[in-house]
């Protein structure tokens, strides 16, 4: 068991995932939590990371920091998605190794797996075929993080572990249509259309791809599980093991938001990967399972969106 007084640094603690991890840890009695905003610490700068970690001396590091975005952002800024994500994780992993931290938890994404791999996606499918082109830059960066943690674990016998979540959503999500993922983007689109006399909503693609979604508080619980247990392997999928079509997702969100207008599918836009369902047997076998179903999670997310819409307008309604 981890000492409740252990110094735990959460990189990216202001983001959707990092803030959920912070809240969950604090609620469980871990109060020696360390965070630094991007204004205080630029994780892309090796010297800054070096100086910061030697000052705060963490016992544990949780890497929830990343440059993230949807298909459009990944396609438009390939260099930034590859370089900046590698800089962030390389700086943190390297310094954690040098400092001798007790545990390092690296968070990645299900996009690390091949585009046309067998479903559901097993951990051993990593690097067996080509990636999906619309997010390969982010995926490549995350793959290097996984392999770095595996290398340190293998060579130095250190407790470095990687968790690969499926598509995450929840409170504190990103609702900027130029960089958000599909679920929060749909929430915003349906809400705005509802406010605009239930105008039609145009969505990308055919709606046929299958997707799996995990509420961010469940992801935080998985991180705590990894923190409090010594996992036997280096790589674990974190998800629900259940998926639905993007079209089914749209109808579910439309119902929760209360939009009654038409949905128009623009099939001139890309669908992305046909299906991404994680095999979560490894996590199930060691004792972790998700608790929040999709409709309940979407309702929680939409409630948070409504409660914070004025602040969101300042950030993304430009």
Taking only the tens of pLDDT, the chain with its 318 residues reads 789 999 999 999 999 999 999 999 999 999 999 999 999 999 999 999 999 999 999 999 999 999 887 677 788 899 999 999 999 999 999 999 999 999 999 999 999 999 889 999 999 999 999 998 888 999 999 999 999 999 999 999 999 999 999 999 999 998 988 778 899 999 999 999 999 999 999 999 999 999 999 999 999 999 999 999 999 999 999 999 999 999 999 999 999 999 999 999 999 998 877 888 999 999 999 999 999 999 999 999 999 999 999 887 665 544
Is residue 108 annotated as involved in ligand binding?
Answer: yes
Is residue 109 annotated as involved in ligand binding?
Answer: yes
The CATH number that applies at residue 143 is: 3.40.50.720
Number of domains the chain contains: 1
Q: Is residue 143 part of a domain?
A: yes
Q: Is residue 3 part of a domain?
A: no
Is residue 251 annotated as involved in ligand binding?
Answer: no
pLDDT digits (tens, 9 = 90+) for 170-201: 999 989 887 788 999 999 999 999 999 999 99
Q: Is residue 2 part of a domain?
A: no
Is residue 147 annotated as involved in ligand binding?
Answer: no
**CB-based contacts of 248: which residues, under 8 Å, 6+ apart?**
none
Alpha-carbon distance of 49 to 290, in angstroms, equals 33
Is residue 304 annotated as involved in ligand binding?
Answer: no
**163 within 8 A of 107, measured Cβ to Cβ:** yes
**CB-based contacts of 36: which residues, under 8 Å, 6+ apart?**
13, 52
Q: Is residue 61 part of a domain?
A: yes
Q: What is the domain extent for residue 81? A: 8-316
| Among candidate residues 184, 169, 175, 170, the one with its CA nearest the CA of residue 313 | 175
Alpha-carbon distance of 175 to 245, in angstroms, equals 21
CB pairs under 8 A, 24+ apart, for 50-54?
Answer: 50/91, 50/95, 53/9, 53/95, 53/96, 53/99, 54/95, 54/99
Q: Is residue 219 part of a domain?
A: yes
| Among candidate residues 215, 213, 219, the one with its CA nearest the CA of residue 171 | 215
Residues with catalytic function:
138
DSSP code for 125 = G
Cross-strand pairs, 10 = 62
CA 138 to each of CA 57, 148, 179: distance values in angstroms, whole numbers, following the listed order:
29, 16, 13
The whole-model pTM stands at: 0.92
**213 within 8 A of 169, measured Cβ to Cβ:** yes
Is residue 211 annotated as involved in ligand binding?
Answer: yes
Is residue 181 annotated as involved in ligand binding?
Answer: yes
């Amino acid at each position: 068991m981890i000492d409740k007084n252990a110094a735990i640094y959460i990189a990216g603690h202001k983001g959707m995932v990092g803030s959920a991890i912070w809240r969950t840890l604090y609620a469980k009695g871990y109060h020696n939590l360390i965070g630094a905003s991007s204004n205080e610490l630029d994780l892309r700068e090796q010297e800054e990371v070096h100086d910061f970690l030697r000052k705060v001396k963490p016992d544990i590091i949780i890497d929830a920091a990343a440059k993230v975005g949807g298909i459009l952002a990944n396609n438009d800024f390939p260099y930034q998605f590859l370089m900046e994500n590698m800089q962030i994780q390389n700086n943190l992993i390297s310094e954690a190794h040098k400092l001798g931290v007790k545990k390092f938890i690296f968070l990645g994404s299900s996009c690390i797996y091949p585009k046309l791999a067998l479903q559901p996606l097993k951990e051993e499918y990593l690097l067996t075929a080509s990636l999906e082109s619309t997010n390969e830059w982010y995926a490549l960066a995350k793959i290097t993080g996984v392999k770095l943690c595996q290398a340190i674990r293998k060579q130095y016998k250190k407790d470095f572990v990687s968790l690969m979540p499926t598509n995450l959503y929840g409170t504190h999500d990103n609702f900027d249509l130029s960089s958000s993922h599909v679920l929060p983007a749909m929430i915003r689109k349906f809400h705005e259309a509802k406010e605009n006399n239930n105008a039609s909503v145009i969505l990308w693609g055919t709606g046929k791809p299958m997707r799996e979604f995990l509420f961010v508080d469940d992801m935080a619980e998985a991180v705590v599980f990894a923190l409090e247990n010594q996992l036997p392997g280096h790589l674990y999928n974190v998800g629900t093991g259940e998926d639905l079509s993007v079209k089914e997702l749209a109808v579910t969100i439309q119902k929760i938001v209360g939009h009654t207008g038409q949905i128009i599918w623009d099939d001139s836009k890309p669908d992305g990967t046909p299906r991404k369902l994680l095999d979560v047997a490894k996590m199930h076998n060691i004792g972790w399972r998700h608790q929040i179903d999709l409709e309940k999670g979407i309702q929680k997310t939409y409630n948070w969106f409504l409660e914070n819409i004025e602040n969101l307008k300042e950030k993304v309604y430009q």
